[in-house]
């Protein structure tokens, strides 16, 4: 079967080359049958890569250790869920997952557009298959997943494998990597349509309308992947945090930032015919950052708990990036005449300018994160000296940028399109500003003097009031006309324009997440080596280790601390942090215990028994205010994203130039 898997990858590589060549030859030589044949070849690539992936998963789940990959990343004692997750637990398998997801996306694109965009689709297929060819080269020749272990003259099955990295044996890691890959791979689709639009010299926005949902769905996958990664770090790594500005964490954040900028600026192109070059640059940058992030994870260029071992595969990625970036830059410059804006920015006091400033801030954040991530390695290569760029740098740069973005989130809905008068601004900003100032004053009186925390909480209230006002105005008008209650009126309002009001829900989720991030300013922690039966105190909690138990199973040995927790003297329950040592790898890991509440988390990590004092345990304790707001905020973002994907009940067509006073005149068309 391993031969069949290797052949499937090799045939998929050949078929992908045919799909790429047939698309270009078919469109250039006007051979429609070649174009159709190329599209069918895309489906063939999907079939073959699916066969190869299925065979690898079969070997993993049946513990067939004749394959080097299975022996390195699975063992007999692992639960089936983690055996399946071993598919992406190592270099070769995760690259195969990349290829498989790309083949899925390509097939869906071909199938859903088989009767549309006939002039552009061959180029879209060519761009998709060019990326597919690159990854299949890696699968077939650089990092083949079907390498067989050979001993002497024959093939010998190992008695057991090394097993999946213990840090990855957590339920969230069965979801986090696929979600992140769905984001990474999915951003190729908007890029392919953008390049197809440039190559065919289209002046319209066909590629924008076609990829709008693709971009939003992919952004949703990337958001989910990033938050799941933060949740995994919080629950598994045992350091009490969820984001450490690790290089690979940063790599997943970078395309999310630029995609967020693209989703905002694309509305400017739809409504105003502006920022066309900007959108091309953003969608291209997002694609390249996805490839760059994959390079960081796999090349050994940076050190990270998330990264794979150092490999020469990085040179392949750098070569592919160099060629792709050069070709894209040349193409954009040659098509500048087709990317001219239809209107110009007329006033700084306009919604257009708020979108522009939003994009500039997002790109500033992306550049800061990118530079902070790669600079240590660049410096080492140039000077030979190792330097460290840690969390203080990223926080110092990104906290002010984040607060400015939060402000613009509230300012945008209050400003009219094209231009606003000072009188209209005073009226629009009155109540949000009053609530913001009142919040800051109340918190200051309550004893909170942290500058950034006060500003953040105040801005969260400012944006919340702005969004509530938007829903209130629209829902009140509907309720007055239909006699419905405000809740039903708000649902009707949202259904009439799901993109706008779904976007507001996404912003509400972001506000909750900002509140959770702000809570980190008030974190408390302690690490103590205490005797079983003794107590330790932190904040308003008192903890007592009642007993230490131990045991083992086929996969790992464990020690578990039973800790009684008291808050202000009252018992709040038992917590059971655990320390594990996995049999095959002998690698220790922590299973933390968390008492989750909306206002704060009590977080315990049992770091093991003391080596110097008999009967003593090393306990790390953290009190983390408002962390649950981050996870709650994600679910609001998720719901808002789904809302945006629902077709609006009323279709709106916006005139790009008609303006009366400071308000844009809208024309409603029933389609």
pLDDT for 309 equals: 55
Average pLDDT rounded to a whole number, residues 612-621: 83
Domain ranges in the chain? 1-163, 165-340, 521-627
Contacts with 273 (C-beta within 8 Å, 6 or more apart), sequence order: 341, 342, 343, 656
**Is residue 155 classed exposed, middle or buried when 0-12, 13-18 and 19+ CB atoms within 10 A define those classes?**
exposed
With residues binned 3-state (H G I as helix, E B as strand, rest as coil), the percentages for the chain, rounded to 5, are 65, 15, 25
- Better pLDDT: 263 or 382: 263
pLDDT for 651 equals: 63
Residue 631 vs residues 94, 302, 410, 569: alpha-carbon distances, Å = 27, 28, 22, 29
Beta bridge partners of 625: 600
CB 100 within 8 A of CB 53: yes
Beta bridge partners of 562: 547
Question: Around 539, how many Cα atoms within 13 Å sit in the side-chain half-sphere?
Answer: 18
Task: Measure the CA–CA gap between 272 and 617, rounded to whole angstroms.
Answer: 64
**Is residue 318 classed exposed, middle or buried when 0-12, 13-18 and 19+ CB atoms within 10 A define those classes?**
middle
Average pLDDT rounded to a whole number, residues 571-578: 93
Residue 663: pLDDT over 50: no
Poorest-pLDDT segment among 290-304, 336-350, 454-468: 336-350
Model's pTM, two decimal places?
0.91
Beta bridge partners of 370: none
Query: Helix, strand or coil for residue 656?
Result: strand
Residue with tokens 């530079």: 371
Average pLDDT rounded to a whole number, residues 160-178: 85
Beta bridge partners of 532: none
**Structure-token pair, residue 317:** 């990625």
pLDDT for 660 equals: 30
Helices (H), 273-306: 276-299
pLDDT for 203 equals: 72
CB 246 within 8 A of CB 304: yes
Beta bridge partners of 581: 557, 588
pLDDT for 657 equals: 38
pLDDT for 307 equals: 54
Residue 624: pLDDT over 80: yes
DSSP-assigned letter for residue 522: G
Contacts with 118 (C-beta within 8 Å, 6 or more apart), sequence order: none
Percent of the chain with pLDDT strictly greater than 70: 92
Task: Measure the CA–CA gap between 604 and 544, rounded to whole angstroms.
Answer: 12
CB 365 within 8 A of CB 245: no
Beta bridge partners of 624: 601
Poorest-pLDDT segment among 139-153, 216-230, 459-473, 520-534: 139-153
- Better pLDDT: 228 or 155: 228
> CB count, 10 Å around CB of 357?
17
Of 190, 189, 187, 193, the residue nearest 120 (C-alpha)? 193
The H or E element that residue 409 is part of is: helix 391-411
CB 279 within 8 A of CB 267: no
CB 49 within 8 A of CB 93: no
Question: Around 26, how many Cα atoms within 13 Å sit in the side-chain half-sphere?
Answer: 23
Task: Measure the CA–CA gap between 526 and 653, rounded to whole angstroms.
Answer: 58
Of 620, 551, 630, 556, the residue nearest 592 (C-alpha)? 620
Q: What angle do CA 297, 303, 307 make, to 5 degrees?
A: 30
In whole angstroms, what separates CA 579 from the centre of its chain? 30
Phi, psi of 12 (to 5 degrees): -60, -40
pLDDT for 19 equals: 96
Band of residue 30 on the pLDDT scale cut at 50, 70, 90 = confident
In whole angstroms, what separates CA 87 from the centre of its chain? 20
Residue 541: pLDDT over 80: yes
Query: What is the length of the chain?
Result: 671
Poorest-pLDDT segment among 182-196, 368-382, 449-463: 368-382
Task: Measure the CA–CA gap between 482 and 490, rounded to whole angstroms.
Answer: 12
- 237-256 tens-digit pLDDT: 889 999 989 888 899 999 99
Angle between helix 176-186 and helix 91-112 axes, rounded to 10 deg: 50
Band of residue 164 on the pLDDT scale cut at 50, 70, 90 = confident
φ/ψ region of 383 (left if φ > 0, alpha if ψ in -120 to 50, else beta) reads alpha
Of 275, 453, 295, 490, the residue nearest 373 (C-alpha)? 295
pLDDT for 655 equals: 43
pLDDT for 635 equals: 97
pLDDT for 664 equals: 35
Q: What angle do CA 340, 341, 344 make, to 5 degrees?
A: 140
pLDDT for 189 equals: 95
Q: What is the mean pLDDT of the chain?
A: 87
Phi, psi of 621 (to 5 degrees): -125, 135
């Amino acid at each position: 079967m391993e031969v069949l898997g290797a052949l499937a990858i090799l045939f998929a590589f050949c078929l992908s080359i045919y799909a790429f060549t047939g698309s270009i030859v078919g469109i250039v030589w006007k051979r429609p049958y070649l174009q159709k044949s190329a599209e069918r070849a895309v489906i063939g690539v999907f079939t073959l890569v699916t066969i190869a992936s299925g065979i690898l998963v079969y070997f993993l789940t049946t513990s067939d250790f004749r394959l080097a990959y299975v022996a390195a990343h699975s063992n007999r004692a692992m639960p089936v869920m983690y055996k399946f997750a071993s598919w992406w637990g190592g270099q070769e398998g995760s690259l195969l997952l990349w290829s498989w997801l790309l083949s899925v996306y390509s097939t869906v694109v071909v199938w859903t557009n088989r009767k549309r965009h006939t002039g552009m689709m061959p180029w879209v297929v060519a761009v998709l298959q060019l990326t597919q060819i690159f990854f299949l080269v890696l699968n077939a020749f650089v990092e083949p997943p079907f390498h067989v272990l050979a001993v002497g003259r024959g093939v010998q099955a190992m008695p057991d494998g090394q097993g999946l990295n213990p840090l990855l044996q957590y339920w969230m890691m069965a979801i986090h990597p696929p979600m992140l890959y769905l984001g990474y791979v999915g951003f190729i689709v908007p890029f392919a349509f953008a390049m197809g639009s440039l190559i065919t010299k289209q002046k319209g926005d066909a590629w924008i309308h076609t990829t709008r949902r693709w971009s939003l769905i992919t952004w949703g996958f990337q958001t989910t992947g990033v938050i799941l990664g933060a949740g995994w770090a919080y629950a598994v790594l045992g350091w009490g945090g969820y984001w450490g500005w690790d290089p690979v964490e940063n790599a997943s954040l970078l395309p999310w930032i630029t995609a967020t900028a693209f989703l905002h600026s694309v509305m400017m192109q739809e409504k105003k015919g502006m920022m066309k070059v900007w959108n091309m640059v953003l969608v291209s940058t997002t694609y390249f950052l996805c490839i760059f992030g994959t390079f960081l994870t796999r090349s050994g260029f940076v050190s990270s708990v998330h990264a794979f071992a150092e490999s020469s595969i990085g040179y392949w990625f750098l070569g592919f990036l160099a060629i792709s970036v050069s070709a894209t830059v040349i193409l954009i410059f040659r098509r500048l005449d087709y990317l001219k804006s239809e209107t110009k920015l007329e006033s700084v006091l306009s919604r257009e300018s708020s979108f522009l400033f939003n994009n500039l801030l997002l790109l500033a954040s992306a550049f800061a994160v990118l530079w902070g991530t790669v600079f240590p390695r660049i410096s080492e290569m140039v000077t030979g000296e190792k330097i460290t760029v840690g969390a203080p740098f990223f926080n110092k740069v990104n906290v002010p940028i984040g607060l400015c973005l939060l402000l613009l989130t509230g300012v945008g809905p209050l400003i009219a399109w094209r231009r606003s008068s000072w009188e209209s601004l005073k009226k629009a900003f009155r109540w949000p500003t009053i609530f913001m100032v009142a919040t800051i004053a109340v918190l200051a009186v309550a004893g909170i003097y942290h500058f950034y925390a006060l500003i953040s909480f105040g801005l969260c209230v400012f944006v919340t009031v702005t969004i509530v006002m938007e829903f209130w105005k629209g829902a009140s008008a509907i309720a007055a006309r239909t006699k419905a209650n405000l809740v039903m009126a708000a649902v009707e309002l949202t259904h009439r324009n799901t993109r706008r009001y779904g976007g507001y829900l996404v912003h509400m989720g972001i506000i909750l997440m900002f509140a959770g991030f702000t809570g980190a300013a008030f974190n408390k922690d302690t690490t103590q080596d205490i005797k079983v039966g003794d107590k330790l105190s932190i904040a308003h909690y008192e903890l007592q280790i009642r007993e230490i138990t131990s045991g083992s199973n086929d996969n790992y040995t464990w020690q578990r601390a039973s800790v009684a927790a008291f808050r202000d003297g009252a018992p709040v329950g038992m917590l059971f942090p655990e320390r594990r040592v996995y049999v095959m790898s002998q690698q220790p890991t922590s299973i933390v215990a968390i008492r989750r509440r909306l206002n704060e988390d009590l977080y315990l990590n049992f770091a093991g028994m003391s080596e110097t004092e008999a009967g003593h345990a090393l306990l790390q304790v953290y009190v983390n205010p408002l962390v649950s707001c981050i996870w709650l905020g994600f679910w609001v973002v998720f719901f808002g994203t789904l809302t945006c994907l629902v077709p609006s009940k009323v279709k709106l067509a916006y005139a790009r130039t008609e303006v009366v006073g400071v308000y844009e005149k809208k024309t409603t068309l029933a389609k």
